[in-house]
Structure 1
Amino acid sequence: MKTPGAAVLLLLWAGIVAVAGETCQPDIYNVLKEISALVKQLRWETNAQAKDLTELRRERDNSKVSFSASLKTSPGHQYYGPYNSPTTLIYRHVFTNTGNAYNNNTGIFTAPVRGVYHFVVFIHGHCHEHRGIAVSLNKNKEHVAMAWTQQSTLNLNGGTGASLLLEVGDVVYVKLPENAWLADNQFHFNTFSGHLLFPM
């Protein structure tokens, strides 16, 4: 790429040049043509660099993706489930949502860029002799991982997570399996979090 220094040298050359003690005057018309061509080249390179910079800024902004949310938005105890069929959980209390890729009205995360993302789910519930606490982490319509635990005494805690390669528009969400349940309150025991590790 030509630099401003090259233009300065060309302008100096366009002046009167002393050669071996003699003075000569170059063809000013040809010199001006060369300067005009150089200016056009510099303008093209500047525009190309501006486009590259805009693309880099867009990629940088899109790579800032991170969210974390919990089920309960207000004080008080609440049960989730049991339901007759698997049900998508909606984590409504948002701690952070950089990039706005998580929708707290649907409980669904949508990948804004192609890359590897990491997701973590923590669960909490009460003991029950015939019912466990459980969640299923899903990508698009596919099951990815499950957290499940059951016992007849004491409260229960569990969790699961996975790193996933996502294409633009892929979705990740958490489902409560049939006949499972969770319990939450203002201390936010049940959380769903994810962030972009690196774009691909």
Structure 2
Amino acid sequence: MRAIAFLCLLHAAFHETSGNPYSWDGARQSPPGDNSVSKVCVADKSACGCCLMKTNLDRMKEFLTLSTEGLTKYLNKSKMVINNMRDARSAFSASLNNDQSLSCRGPFVNDNVIPYKHVFLNWENGYNDNTGIFTAPRSGVYSFAATIYSTNSTGHTENTCANLQVNNVATELWEKYGQDPEDSNTVVIAVKLAAGDQVAVNLRQGCIICDNKNHYNTFTGFLVYATDEMS
């Protein structure tokens, strides 16, 4: 192939010096009345072959350019989708504490939001460990889970109860004190939230929960899928 191209170049150069009106850029303008250009392909088949080769190369270049532009477009679109997926990540998980010894929270005379202090994960910083409240960074469907636990080994005989509150709408967790030494309960929900909506776990009036480094009491949530852009 290289040899053929080289011969064509030599041929074109030879005809350039000999006044041949045909070149790599096609037919040259001839003086009026000069029909030598129209006779080139008839008189010189090799000149037509070189020009045909250049035409095909130009077409191939155009095709490759369009293909590259198309691939670049799809690549940029894929990058945008990946970036949106990264932006859509929102998840947290926390436990009541990380103490060596068992300690209890409650009972209180009123309902009390539980601040889960030991944070395992907090993508997008939606969870506030000072208040115990998760604020949705963007609209979407979220999943939340809460587990409560207490034991009478500390001398407490109160019930173990709380509720998972989503914009003041509660889902109850209740374990009545009985003869067994430990009480626990878990709730898992999926709910649609708007950006700015808040979720928390409320310790009910007169109830207790107990925890240590074993992390019996946990509050977890994550974004399943987003429904619009971040606020």
Structure 1-normalised TM-score?
A: 0.70
- Structure 1: runs of 5+ lacking an equivalent: 1-14, 22-45
CA-CA distance at 1:57 after TM superposition: 5.1
How many Å separate the matches in 2 of 1:118 and 1:171? 13
Q: Which amino acid aligns with 1:81?
A: G
Q: Does 1:61 align with 2:86?
A: yes
Q: How does 1:41-60 map to 2 (within 5 A)?
A: 56=81, 58-60=83-85
Q: Which has the higher helix share?
A: 2
Secondary structure at the counterpart of residue 121 of structure 1: strand
Q: Does 1:141 align with 2:180?
A: no
Q: Which amino acid aligns with 2:135?
A: T
Residue 3 of structure 1: aligned partner: none
**Aligned counterpart for 2:124 among listed residues 78, 91, 99:** 99
Secondary structure at the counterpart of residue 85 of structure 2: helix
How many Å separate the matches in 2 of 1:94 and 1:152? 31
Q: Which amino acid aligns with 2:122?
A: N
Q: Does 1:177 align with 2:222?
A: no
Residue 71 of structure 1: aligned partner: 96
Q: Which amino acid aligns with 1:195?
A: F
CA-CA distance at 1:150 after TM superposition: 1.3
Task: Deviation per CA, 1:97-127: give whole Å up to 9, x if none.
Answer: 1222111111111111111101000111124
CA RMSD of aligned residues (A): 3.1
Secondary structure at the counterpart of residue 116 of structure 2: coil
Question: Is the 8 Å Cα contact of residues 164 and 201 (structure 2) preserved in structure 1?
Answer: yes
Q: Does 1:112 align with 2:112?
A: no
1:146–1:169 Cα change, 3 Å: same
Structure 2-normalised TM-score?
A: 0.62
Q: Which amino acid aligns with 1:126?
A: T
Residue 30 of structure 1: aligned partner: none
Q: Which amino acid aligns with 2:174?
A: W
Question: Is the 8 Å Cα contact of residues 62 and 113 (structure 1) preserved in structure 2?
Answer: no
Secondary structure at the counterpart of residue 138 of structure 2: coil
1:152–1:58 Cα change, 3 Å: same
- Structure 2: runs of 5+ lacking an equivalent: 1-24, 28-36, 42-71
Range 161-170 or range 97-106, more displaced: 97-106
Range 171-180 or range 120-129, more displaced: 120-129
Residue 85 of structure 1: aligned partner: 110
Question: Is the 8 Å Cα contact of residues 98 and 214 (structure 2) preserved in structure 1?
Answer: no
CA-CA distance at 1:16 after TM superposition: 4.3
